[in-house]
């Protein structure tokens, strides 16, 4: 690997100008972290268009300097953290919505567009972008594509990948790769668009994204059900899904999470509530009432302490605020919060949830469970002090055990957050040697000098 020396800094300044190259320590710190880890870059560069990124990468390629693409830094795995120095390539200034086409039902955006702002912009045009990561208020579409982000609407609407039509990507040597485009169907050639989705900045820098849009649902109903145990809530989830209903949202929150939320958001819930389900159905008004009655009945079958629906938009917003803001509320009260994101087949949800709780009790650990239960994507959240070696070891052992449990249930290590640094050491447990070999070959092919986001998603021997 080369070094970021004065000649390289001069070269980068010649491309983007003095003001969009940052080298002061306090600036570097601002681009050094995500929700999981820290690592200082040597320089931060803020390009404004694809042409600049081509020139930055051509220079980095020639000098063999690491380049770490970065959106809002809301990742939970260390994905955008510069662990080997180099250039932090901040894409936040590339935040234009280039086009929203009602006729073709698609949008073209730059990677730095904030997901929640994009959702609102398309709604104003009478269209709907369903992927809904919990971090929508601050995460970026580029980061969503890099991790194939999911969120609360996955159960009915799928994830980022399902709306991705095309990409413009700058390769490690500065060449531009344009893949996919405006067609809803396309089978010409290999599907590089889908390969790049979820590639976590290891194969190229995404600079333009074409996304499919759909018409918005006519109406939405929101239901909140409280339970005396997580198991019962898990059983209700299974029953709702087995009844053939597909809610737009089916979120699970455990008692610990509810209590944190209550303190911060003043959310009211019945005494003895150890789990709640936040359920939304959407579609034509005419079918929602019947579905709501059916869901409420199922919720009650499993001994719900209370089932209530949001009567007003304000009530709905409160329920969502609690779900969206709860993790941050917990994180503020803790030294460190590790949010995992296993996914299991939906039939295994009750077993997975019970397994997490049993393990937390047996090992006497502080673990909160929330999740997008409708699609089997669970977030056990470990709350501990990572600077205490004894605690760090105990939680690491617990993660080890959970990883094996989820895989034994035919689950996956990551449903939506990605691998980054956090899960690299477990890759070999889920992915076969054949697939790992092909992945290493792909990486060499796209990035022969290994300058793109080095130190991530690299399998580590057990």
- Residue number with the shortest CB distance to ligand LAC? 134
Q: Do the Cβ atoms of 230 and 369 come closer than 8 Å?
A: yes
Residues 123-152 that bind ligand LAC (CB under 6 A): 134
User: Which of 230, 215, 267 minimizes the C-alpha distance to 358?
Assistant: 230
User: Which of 353, 345, 158 minimizes the C-alpha distance to 254?
Assistant: 353
End-to-end CA distance of the chain: 27
Smaller CB distance to ligand LAC: residue 32 or 339?
339
Residues 94-113 that bind ligand LAC (CB under 6 A): none
Q: Can you read off the two tokens belonging to residue 153?
A: 């609407």
Tell me the closest approach of the beta carbon of residue 419 to ligand LAC, in angstroms. 15
Tell me the closest approach of the beta carbon of residue 399 to ligand LAC, in angstroms. 15
Residue 286's region, left for phi above 0, alpha for psi from -120 to 50, else beta, is alpha
User: Which of 307, 126, 90 minimizes the C-alpha distance to 216?
Assistant: 126
Q: How many residues does the chain have?
A: 462
Tell me the closest approach of the beta carbon of residue 379 to ligand LAC, in angstroms. 5
Widest CA span of the chain, in angstroms? 70
Smaller CB distance to ligand LAC: residue 153 or 291?
153
Q: Does 423 bind ligand LAC (CB under 6 A)?
A: no
Q: Does 32 bind ligand LAC (CB under 6 A)?
A: no
Q: How many residues bind ligand LAC (CB under 6 A)?
A: 6
Smaller CB distance to ligand LAC: residue 226 or 324?
324
User: What is d(CA 208, CA 447) in angstroms, rounded to the nearest whole number?
Assistant: 20
Tell me the closest approach of the beta carbon of residue 341 to ligand LAC, in angstroms. 6
Tell me the closest approach of the beta carbon of residue 371 to ligand LAC, in angstroms. 7
Smaller CB distance to ligand LAC: residue 90 or 249?
249
Residue 389: strand, helix, or coil: helix
Give me the residues paired with residue 219 across strands: 283
Give me the residues paired with residue 368 across strands: 381
Tell me the closest approach of the beta carbon of residue 14 to ligand LAC, in angstroms. 40
Residue 3: strand, helix, or coil: coil
Q: Which of 172, 229, 276, 327 binds ligand LAC (CB under 6 A)?
A: 327
Residues 361-400 that bind ligand LAC (CB under 6 A): 379
Smaller CB distance to ligand LAC: residue 91 or 322?
322
Q: Does 339 bind ligand LAC (CB under 6 A)?
A: yes
Residue numbers of the site for ligand LAC (CB under 6 A)?
A: 134, 327, 339, 341, 379, 416
């Amino acid at each position: 690997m080369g070094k970021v020396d004065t000649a390289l800094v001069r070269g980068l300044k010649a491309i983007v100008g003095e003001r969009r190259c940052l080298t002061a320590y306090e600036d570097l710190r601002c681009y050094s972290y995500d929700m999981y880890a820290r690592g200082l870059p040597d320089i931060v560069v803020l390009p404004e268009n694809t042409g600049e990124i081509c020139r930055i990468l051509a220079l980095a390629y020639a000098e063999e300097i690491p380049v770490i693409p970065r959106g809002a830094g809301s990742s939970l795995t260390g994905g955008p953290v510069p662990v080997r120095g180099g250039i932090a390539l901040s894409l936040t200034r590339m935040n234009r919505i280039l086009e929203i086409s009602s006729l073709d039902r698609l949008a073209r955006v730059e990677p730095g567009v904030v997901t929640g702002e994009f959702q609102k912009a398309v709604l104003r045009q009478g269209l709907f972008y369903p992927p809904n990561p919990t971090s929508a208020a601050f995460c970026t579409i580029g980061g969503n594509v890099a991790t194939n982000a999911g969120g609360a609407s996955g159960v009915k609407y799928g994830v980022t990948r399902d709306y991705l039509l095309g990409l413009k990507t700058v390769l490690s040597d500065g060449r531009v790769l344009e893949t996919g485009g405006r067609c809803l169907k396309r089978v010409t050639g290999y599907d590089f668009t889908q390969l790049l989705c979820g590639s976590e900045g290891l194969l190229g820098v995404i600079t333009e994204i074409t996304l499919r849009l759909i018409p918005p649902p006519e109406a939405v109903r929101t239901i909140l059900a409280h339970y005396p145990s997580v198991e019962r809530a898990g059983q209700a989830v299974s029953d709702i899904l087995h009844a053939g209903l597909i809610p737009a949202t089916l979120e699970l929150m455990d008692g610990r999470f509810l209590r944190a939320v209550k303190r911060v958001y003043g959310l009211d819930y019945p005494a003895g509530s150890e789990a709640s389900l936040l359920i939304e159905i959407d579609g034509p008004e005419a079918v929602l009432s019947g579905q709501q009655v059916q869901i409420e009945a199922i919720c009650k079958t499993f001994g719900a302490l209370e089932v209530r629906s949001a009567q007003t938009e304000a009530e709905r917003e409160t329920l969502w605020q609690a779900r969206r803001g709860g993790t941050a509320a917990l994180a503020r009260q803790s030294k460190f919060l590790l949010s995992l994101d296993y996914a299991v087949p939906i039939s295994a949800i009750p077993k997975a949830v019970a397994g997490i709780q049993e393990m937390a009790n047996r090992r006497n650990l502080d673990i909160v469970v929330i999740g997008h239960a409708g699609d089997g994507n669970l977030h056990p959240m470990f709350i501990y002090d990572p600077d205490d070696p004894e605690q760090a070891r105990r939680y690491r052992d617990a993660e080890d055990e959970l990883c094996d449990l989820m895989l034994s249930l035919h689950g996956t290590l990551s449903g939506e957050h990605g691998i980054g640094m956090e899960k690299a050491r477990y890759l070999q447990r889920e992915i076969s040697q054949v697939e790992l070999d092909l992945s290493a070959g792909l990486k060499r092919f796209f990035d022969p000098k290994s300058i793109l986001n080095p130190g991530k998603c690299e399998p580590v021997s057990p």
